[in-house]
């Protein structure tokens, strides 16, 4: 089952991003760990990990407030 990321902007709406597919959750998470800064610079504020049509989780790319 392929894994992929959906990308969202500050308003929670979908934004364009790389259409990568991964063979495992670990591969998808490794990839986002390497590219999240570039995505954030391009205006992506959160990502959603999806396995086919099932949402695994949503994660913010914004720095945490201290």
The pTM score is: 0.89
Query: Which of 58, 43, 62 minimizes the C-alpha distance to 6?
Result: 58
* HSE (side-chain half, CA atoms, 13 Å) at 23: 0
pLDDT of residue 64: 77
Residue 57, Cβ density class (10 Å: 0-12 exposed, 13-18 middle, ≥19 buried): exposed
Dump pLDDT digits (tens) for 15-63.
Answer: 999 999 999 999 999 999 999 999 999 999 999 999 998 999 999 998 8
DSSP label of 22: B
Across the beta sheet with 54-60, the strand order is 3-8, 46-51, 54-60
On the question of pLDDT at 65 being above 60, the answer is yes
pLDDT of residue 66: 56
């Amino acid at each position: 089952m392929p894994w992929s990321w959906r990308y969202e902007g500050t308003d929670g709406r979908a934004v364009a991003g790389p259409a990568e597919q991964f063979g495992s959750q670990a591969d998808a998470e490794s990839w986002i760990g390497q590219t999240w800064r570039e995505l954030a610079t391009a205006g992506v504020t959160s990502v959603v990990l999806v396995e086919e049509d099932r949402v695994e989780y949503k994660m913010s790319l914004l720095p945490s407030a201290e």
